[in-house]
Structure 1
Amino acid sequence: MPAPNKKNIQGDIWPRLPKKAETFLFFRITKPAAFKGHLSQLAPLLTTAEDAQRMREDIYKKKEAGTLKGLIQLSAINVAFSARGLAKLGAEGFTDDIFNNGQWQDMTYPGTGEDPKKHQGLDDQQDWYHQFKPRNGYVDGVFIVTGDSDQTVKKTIDSLIEKIFNVGQAGQSIQRIFSQSGNVLPDDREHFGWVDGISQPVVTGLDDLSKNKSPNGLKPIPAGTILVGCDGDKSKHPEWAKEGSFMVYRAYEQRTPEFVMWCGRNTPSVQSEGFSENAKKELRLFSSRVMGRWPDGAPLELHPERDPSHILSADPHENYELLKKEWGDDFERKYKEQEAMNHTDNFNYNADDQTRCPFASHIRKCGPRDDHPFYTKHLMLRRGIPYGPLTKNEEKAGGVSQTERGLLFVSYQSNIKNGFHTVQKEWANTAHGPDDKTDQCGGKAPQGIDPIIGQVAPHNRHDENPVIYNEPVPAVNLPDPRVPPPEVNERTVPIERWVIPHGGEYFFTPSISGIQDHLCKA
């Protein structure tokens, strides 16, 4: 089968849109016939995989040559549609019930007297943003707009989307429902302080396999794992959908001060010594075991006892600035070497051993590698971005979030059930997922739900404090940070709820030809 056509694929799927700022503009189609005409005007302006690759390579070349002075002004735009949006455009539909029924049905928990078939997940309906709830009207589509700054993104929305779709004018074909915006944090961190987006799968036919420097890491996946109708995709979808991809959008709030306080309460030396140097190291080890990586990205599977980074401050953003001062003219070189060491994907797991990386850690629960047979079937491309302000030390010390912040999660896959649905519902939300490790955890219970994104039913939550669980409190299997992990670890730690899903939707991101030759046709 020929390689995917990079001129035909929307660029956020692969290699991802270059960005420092991003806005997701959700809309409802009000006049399908007029919308088709407006969409045909937008289609030639959409950023393709070829466009995005050229933009990114230009940035990398200037970085290598030392000629990159500040940010390059750029913007990019993609578009995706929900099942209802595609139906309004008269597109031949999918037979995928998860996509057709939407994220509300797949991910929310039934209220009193509600049909469990209409609510098949664990999300509390009360936590969802009202714009994603069906009673407030459905979302038909989303424009994904990225740029070097918030100002550039806004200018792109005003000059392209608002103008082409006649927003606010008599001939408008859409209603703007709402928008959510995010910004890349310093050093590509997420709000808990860990470098995000590491270990993306290598896609055959898109990525240059000769540059894969991780022979022991994630196995390359066929393009059909991500793109509909390509090599390896065994699903039966309409011909027009070829080289498109299913996009999952989901907003996760992160309660950073609460997470920091919980880590401190479960680090024995912090409780007995306060924040001594020894206690800080123990706290860093414990929190990194929760994640499965050290904050700068080094996997525990390769560095189980000590963070290999040069640490001058426990705060990652402060440490970055201190390293600039200490390394001076050598900063770029040394930081690049350290980054390459930390961002490696060149590791795998021993399925019977957690003395290096706990079975319950976030990256092992959601990315089990050789822990789980045929794990490559469930890989997806992640394209999320943080939203909300950085957490200052004063807010962390207070232990209670003063403002909302989190991650606007995006993933692409050719099959939602194989990708996001399995990872969130069957792995993260179950104590025994992705594979039951009860025997290696002492024989009484499996490893536990994902301590970061795992969810339990709403009735298991405290009535007044959304972070606290009622009895029985979920527990995860984590070794004592003061001693070397035993081969069979029986120690469990009760967890809290620091990541709160606020809803989202399932979309399909069509190819350029799918848009021009089918969705735009009368």
Structure 2
Amino acid sequence: MCSDCTLRELVVELKTDETRPRLPKKAERFVFFRITNEKEFKKALPTMADYITTAHAASQNRNDIFKQKADGTLKGLIHLVSMNISFSAVGLAKLGAEKFNDEVFNGGQFKDMTAPSSGESEEDHQGLDLQQEWAPELMPSGGGIDGCLVVAGDSLESIDKSIKKTFDWVFNIGNENQSIDKVYTKVGQVFDDHLEHFGWVDGISQPIVHGLDDVVKQSGGKGMKPVNPGVIIVGGEGDESDHPEWAKDGSFMVFRIYEQLVPEFYHWCAFHCPTGIKEIMEAQAEQRPVTWSDAAMDEMGLFSSRLIGRWPKGAPMELHPSDDPNNGLNQSKDPEENKRLVEMKFGQEGLDRLKTIKIKNLTDEFNYNPMDQTKCPYASHMRKTGPRDDYEEYTKHVMMRRGIPYGDWCGDEERGGGVTKAERGLLFVSYQSSIDNGFRTQQKRWANTSDGPTDFAKQAGGNSQGIDPIIGQIHPNLLAEKKAGQFNAQYATAPKIDFPTPVYGQVAPQVFDKSIDLARLCVPHGGEYFFTPSISALKDYIPSI
């Protein structure tokens, strides 16, 4: 991913692999490996570096695609594969690299994010993940992970062919000079409209980077403030860390598996909506899956969008607090057919809305008023993890998010039944120059605390807003047993979140008279902290150690 090019190009590459404009990525494979022969591995590493997708190559690929689109010669999906390689602290130690002055990275994600089991020290387990819910291969007891190969492409078939021709060949998989063992793999796929499993467009609100796109995207101070490149890239302007010289132009990668309990999410949202709970009770009495009415879906849509902070297609609640501007505009997946149907239903007014809807959905040209939550609740996921003007120094804590869904889409029958039958979720990936400033702050200091990033108790009528309703965690000791008859979801005994009583078509009040018991809707299954070196580090520094 990183190459000996300008910092501007490095950030361009990070921003354009999955964010708009996107490379034609439809699938991604993460291959976690353990180094078994350090000498042979270092000897082969410079050759592997030749296959890493550089910023220049990514830019050239994008230009080729745009030219073909403009010329009308683009036929279907272009077969492209991009790859990158990263190392854990354990892996870098095996290779003899100069150690980072970073306790979080050096300690690894298992220490940082798991909670202690009975008799274990809180010093050795500083998080809230249940250890038994981690994938065994990602745990130190399973041997640990030294590195990760990330390969994205137009199909899993193209990806696997590329891995065989490059990674497997370079590191002699299957012969006497083999220098690694593959110990774990995860596959992600991109759904239509880049939806994640709960049904929201993912990847919006990426950081605006000085020298790259702040002039284009920032509009009169209405949107997110630009950040220095050093917030993402080690050694760049604004990087406050004291990392070794060899790490310059690299970036820390956080990988983490979040299972999403989709049926439980829908039922929990319905449980807090008048029509939704009525229809759930009717379905339970008749021992059948729920089939929600349009009225229930409207109520649930408003409630769940307030939880997230955006409507499913992306329009921010702060700008559209009462009604989704996409309503009625999704008549067909075929663009031309959709345009025809919208015109039939709404006339010229519908066509005018259709012209501007993409801008409304993808806009970042807004900020929050710290004194107001009538549009977007203080407790919403987007506001908790991306506080904008709610938190003065939020630009220090942003990260490039690179996640991709895994698992099959949840069908209507499973969703209506209220119980997850197949695992699915998000393979979360982020890049930052400091894990502590980036991922760790957003998850542990903001999402997991009832008063983070800013305590709005005074503005909300005396109560702190609560933990993040989507990814917020509480101590395992506070997790209640599954409650019979309540959709088999795990509920938390504490804390609750202050949240509006959803009334479709109305703006919420500033102060609420009730709070909501949170359901456990995302289950972490482990991960690791990695460092992604520059091409020069892969070719020159590591092999020479």
TM-score bracket relative to the smaller structure: over 0.9
Which among 280, 285, 302 is matched to residue 319 of structure 2? 302
Distance in 2 (CA, whole Å) between partners of 1:494 and 1:329 is: 41
Pair 336,390 (structure 1): closer, same or farther in 2 beyond 3 Å: farther
Any residues of structure 2 matched to 1:470-489 within 5 Å, and which? 470=492, 472-482=493-503, 484-489=507-512
Which among 138, 142, 151 is matched to residue 136 of structure 1? 142
Correspondence 1:209 to 2:214: yes
Q: For the Cα contact (< 8 Å) 1:440–1:489, is it kept in 2?
A: no
Q: Please list the CA deviations of residues 215-248 of structure 1 after superposition, one character each: whole Å capped at 9, or x if unmatched.
A: 4111111110001111011211111100100000
Which among 97, 104, 107 is matched to residue 98 of structure 1? 104
Q: Amino acid of the residue matched to residue 266 of structure 2?
A: V
1:246 — aligned with what?
Answer: 252
Distance in 1 (CA, whole Å) between partners of 2:243 and 2:472 is: 31
2:338 — aligned with what?
Answer: 326
Q: Amino acid of the residue matched to residue 33 of structure 2?
A: F
Q: Please list the CA deviations of residues 353-376 of structure 1 after superposition, one character each: whole Å capped at 9, or x if unmatched.
A: 100000000000000000001100
CA deviation after TM superposition for structure 1 residue 341, in Å: 1.8
Q: For the Cα contact (< 8 Å) 1:131–1:178, is it kept in 2?
A: yes
1:373 — aligned with what?
Answer: 392
1:282 — aligned with what?
Answer: 299
Q: Please list the CA deviations of residues 442-490 of structure 1 after superposition, one character each: whole Å capped at 9, or x if unmatched.
A: 21x21111000011111222345783125x2432121111253222223
Distance in 2 (CA, whole Å) between partners of 1:253 and 1:60 is: 35
Distance in 2 (CA, whole Å) between partners of 1:45 and 1:154 is: 14
Aligned with 1:520: secondary structure?
A: helix
Correspondence 1:460 to 2:481: no
Q: Please list the CA deviations of residues 399-443 of structure 1 after superposition, one character each: whole Å capped at 9, or x if unmatched.
A: 111110000000000011100000000000111111111112221
1:256 — aligned with what?
Answer: 262
Correspondence 1:406 to 2:425: yes
2:117 — aligned with what?
Answer: 111
Q: Amino acid of the residue matched to residue 398 of structure 1?
A: G
Pair 339,8 (structure 1): closer, same or farther in 2 beyond 3 Å: closer
Q: Amino acid of the residue matched to residue 455 of structure 1?
A: Q
Gap regions ≥5 residues in structure 1: 314-318
1:383 — aligned with what?
Answer: 402
CA deviation after TM superposition for structure 1 residue 339, in Å: 1.8
CA deviation after TM superposition for structure 1 residue 393, in Å: 1.0
Any residues of structure 2 matched to 1:54-69 within 5 Å, and which? 54-69=60-75
Distance in 2 (CA, whole Å) between partners of 1:120 and 1:176 is: 28
Distance in 2 (CA, whole Å) between partners of 1:120 and 1:495 is: 23
2:88 — aligned with what?
Answer: 82
Q: For the Cα contact (< 8 Å) 1:14–1:49, is it kept in 2?
A: no
Correspondence 1:292 to 2:309: yes
Distance in 1 (CA, whole Å) between partners of 2:515 and 2:63 is: 46
Distance in 1 (CA, whole Å) between partners of 2:84 and 2:169 is: 16
Q: What is the RMSD of the two structures over their aligned residues, measured on CA atoms?
A: 2.4
Distance in 2 (CA, whole Å) between partners of 1:232 and 1:163 is: 39
Pair 10,43 (structure 1): closer, same or farther in 2 beyond 3 Å: farther
Aligned with 2:544: secondary structure?
A: coil
CA deviation after TM superposition for structure 1 residue 123, in Å: 0.5
Distance in 2 (CA, whole Å) between partners of 1:255 and 1:62 is: 40
Pair 210,301 (structure 1): closer, same or farther in 2 beyond 3 Å: same
Q: Amino acid of the residue matched to residue 296 of structure 2?
A: A
Q: For the Cα contact (< 8 Å) 1:11–1:50, is it kept in 2?
A: no
**Between 239-248 and 459-468, the greater mean CA deviation after superposition:** 459-468
Distance in 2 (CA, whole Å) between partners of 1:504 and 1:47 is: 23
Q: Percent identity?
A: 49
Distance in 2 (CA, whole Å) between partners of 1:464 and 1:491 is: 23
1:15 — aligned with what?
Answer: 16
Q: Amino acid of the residue matched to residue 474 of structure 2?
A: V
Distance in 2 (CA, whole Å) between partners of 1:16 and 1:322 is: 25
Q: Please list the CA deviations of residues 255-314 of structure 1 after superposition, one character each: whole Å capped at 9, or x if unmatched.
A: 11110111111112333578444332222111100100000000000000000014367x
**Between 98-107 and 268-277, the greater mean CA deviation after superposition:** 268-277
Q: Amino acid of the residue matched to residue 172 of structure 1?
A: Q
Which among 158, 181, 198 is matched to residue 175 of structure 1? 181
CA deviation after TM superposition for structure 1 residue 12, in Å: 6.0
Aligned residues: 512
Distance in 2 (CA, whole Å) between partners of 1:223 and 1:4 is: 14
2:379 — aligned with what?
Answer: 360
Pair 395,514 (structure 1): closer, same or farther in 2 beyond 3 Å: same
Q: For the Cα contact (< 8 Å) 2:231–2:434, is it kept in 1?
A: yes
Distance in 2 (CA, whole Å) between partners of 1:191 and 1:308 is: 21
Correspondence 1:415 to 2:434: yes
Gap regions ≥5 residues in structure 2: 281-291, 344-350
Which among 72, 76, 97 is matched to residue 70 of structure 1? 76
Distance in 1 (CA, whole Å) between partners of 2:335 and 2:516 is: 34
Distance in 2 (CA, whole Å) between partners of 1:333 and 1:53 is: 33
Distance in 2 (CA, whole Å) between partners of 1:189 and 1:435 is: 29
Q: Amino acid of the residue matched to residue 321 of structure 1?
A: K
Pair 48,122 (structure 1): closer, same or farther in 2 beyond 3 Å: same
Distance in 2 (CA, whole Å) between partners of 1:66 and 1:297 is: 29
Q: Please list the CA deviations of residues 317-348 of structure 1 after superposition, one character each: whole Å capped at 9, or x if unmatched.
A: xx653776332499999867422221101110
Any residues of structure 2 matched to 1:30-41 within 5 Å, and which? 30-41=36-47
CA deviation after TM superposition for structure 1 residue 169, in Å: 1.1
Q: Please list the CA deviations of residues 188-237 of structure 1 after superposition, one character each: whole Å capped at 9, or x if unmatched.
A: 000000000001012224x2433225441111111100011110112111
Distance in 2 (CA, whole Å) between partners of 1:273 and 1:128 is: 35
Which among 530, 541, 545 is matched to residue 507 of structure 1? 530
Which among 467, 475, 482 is matched to residue 449 of structure 1? 467
2:283 — aligned with what?
Answer: none
Q: Amino acid of the residue matched to residue 309 of structure 2?
A: G
Q: For the Cα contact (< 8 Å) 2:218–2:224, is it kept in 1?
A: no
1:316 — aligned with what?
Answer: none
